[in-house]
Chain A
Amino acid sequence: MKRTRNIAAGILVLIFAASLLAGFVAPAPYAAQFRDFVSAPASRRFWLGTDELGRDRWSRLLYGTRISLLLAPAAALLSTFMAVVIGGIAGYAGGWWDRIIGRVIDLFLSLPWLFLFLIVRALLPLNASPLTSVTLTFTIMGLVGWAPAARIIRTGAQSLRNSDLVLHARACGCHGLRLVLVHLAPGLKPVVFAQFWIAIPTFILGEASLGLIGLGVAEPLPSWGNLLRELANPQAVASNPWTLAPLAALVIVVSCFQLLLPQKEFAS
């Protein structure tokens, strides 16, 4: 597995580097429209073909990777952190804390958060840069997306609170922050890492869905989310398989993240 992890790391570094150096690597600006080459197939000039406006898909994929690869993991980190803190407090403290936080989690799971996005979009100046707008979108996703994971982490924290391990630690005089950091937190790692891994593509796809109501990345800035929207036309995809490139890139990145995250090796 160590070799696999190294390969995954290498791929991620390559993709990161390519996206950060998109300005040098991309053969064309992401917004440039080659209007005589609309929906062109892959060729030497356009490696992944062009989209419906004649924009080079390969260039847009490189630039779009930058947005999604930076913002989605950041939002995932935010939501995971909030889930750990809130779920952890609920599970560890128990009693009234647990009851109140449990209800707050249920509220968060029930509310139509779409309207929060609409409110934020309404408050943003119209000339806000697409980058500001998409950063805000991912931040909000991170701030409201913690609830499902918090429930699972809460249950995990409850189990650990009652476990022999923690009982022994307490008996040895370990309390407070040391108890949490040294004995509880490691026990929550499987769930925390699973949550982080799941959150990344969830937020990228969430951004794609929000684009349907004008809350995604504004034209002409590409992101994996708005590139994935091309897949909404399966027949067109079948005739031009290069539209699957963003999906392939996302799958590769998500798989690499998963392989890189520390996992419990199976006890031999």
Chain B
Amino acid sequence: MWIQRIARHLAVFVLTTLIAGLLGASLVRFGPGFETDEQQLDPRLNAQSVQALRESHGSERHLLAFYLHYLGRMAAGDLGVSRSLARPVAQLLSERAAVTLQLMGAGIAGGWLLGLALALPAVLFRAPRYELAATALSSLFLCAPTAILALVLFFVNGPVRLAIALLIFPKVFRYARNLLADAYTQPHVLAARARGLSSQRIFFRHVAPWAVPQLLALAGVSLGIAFGAAIPIEVLCDLPGLGQLAWKAALARDLPVLVSLTILIAAFTQLANSASDVAIAACTRGRA
């Protein structure tokens, strides 16, 4: 029974990932500028060379054929060669993954810590001035362009990884504050207070469990937010991570790289969201 369930989940996972790859490839393939190359504008190239440049996209012209061929090679561990960087895609991904994972990991951890650290006092102490100050602070960092925050951090010799944390914490703060405040108005919390339970007990046993499922859903989503923020940070601060690779590949219409990245992100996103769903199910099991 459970083997069947796992197999079903795995099949859906694989199918979704493959569809994501195909859709991503379609967006790139049918987007403007696909079969062009900056080299075409080099006046030294003769007509034959320009024609050869145009024909070099031949293997990618027929989308379905390209994608099936790509999947066949992927099964053998070959993700193709990047057109723009002239290097194997698998090598590029493995070299750059560490930079992005470090940036994202530090950013997400920092963002959640900061966000919760700001939200909890707002909920526990309920001081209007604190609420106002926290709102202003989170608004400031919500509105500041992340890449520019990263640049500023670079210029003051600060940790550039903090930029993602500064992007994530306002969202965590706002969601957490709202969810926890909502939890305090729930009937079971009111009942607990009426029974004279301590505020700590009320918070940990009755308030937090109410908000945790949705916060876990936010945790799953914050991976996607972090990767989205990593792109401009890596581009502006010249960090050789996956985000910078994605940007360069997008500008160069580098189909093998973009398809590989889309599949990687789709797999990663599903894993993160599934993990969050499992955690949510575990938390709410006793609450049915």
Direct contact of A and B (CB under 8 A): yes
One digit per residue, 1 when the CB lies within 8 angstroms of any chain A CB and 0 when it does not, for chain B 203-244 equals 000000010011011101100110000001000100000000
Interface pairs A-B: 5 shortest CB-CB: A190-B178, A122-B32, A110-B266, A155-B217, A115-B27
One digit per residue, 1 when the CB lies within 8 angstroms of any chain B CB and 0 when it does not, for chain A 84-115 equals 00000000000000010011011101111111
Number of B interface residues in the complex (CB < 8 A): 74
B287 touches A205 (CB 8 A): no
Question: Which residues on A are within 8 Å of B, measured CB to CB?
Answer: 1, 4, 99, 102-103, 105-107, 109-116, 118-119, 121-122, 148, 151-152, 154-156, 158-159, 162, 164-165, 187, 189-191, 193-194, 197-198, 201-202, 204-205, 208-209, 213, 228, 231-232, 234-235, 247, 250-251, 254-255, 258-259, 263-267
Chain A residue nearest to B144 (CB atoms) is A247
Chain A residue nearest to B182 (CB atoms) is A190
CA distance in complex: A139, B35 (Å): 28
| Besides the known contacts A152-B217, A164-B187, 8 further A-B residue pairs in the complex with CB atoms under 8 A apart | A115-B31, A115-B250, A118-B33, A159-B213, A162-B288, A191-B214, A194-B175, A201-B139
Tell me if B43 counts as interface (CB < 8 A to partner A).
no
A111 touches B20 (CB 8 A): yes
Kindly provide the distance from the CB of A84 to the nearest chain B CB, expressed in whole angstroms.
14
Residues from chain B with a CB closer than 8 A to the CB of A102 are: 273, 277
Given contacts A106-B270, A109-B224, A194-B175, contact A234 B151 (CB under 8 A): yes
A110 touches B280 (CB 8 A): no
Kindly provide the distance from the CB of B184 to the nearest chain A CB, expressed in whole angstroms.
5
Set A99, A190, A234: member contacting B181, Cβ < 8 A:
A190
Set B31, B131, B188, B269: member contacting A110, Cβ < 8 A:
B269
A148 touches B221 (CB 8 A): yes
CA distance in complex: A263, B135 (Å): 13
B280 touches A155 (CB 8 A): yes
Tell me if B148 counts as interface (CB < 8 A to partner A).
yes
B214 touches A152 (CB 8 A): yes
CA distance in complex: A78, B250 (Å): 27
CA distance in complex: A28, B37 (Å): 43
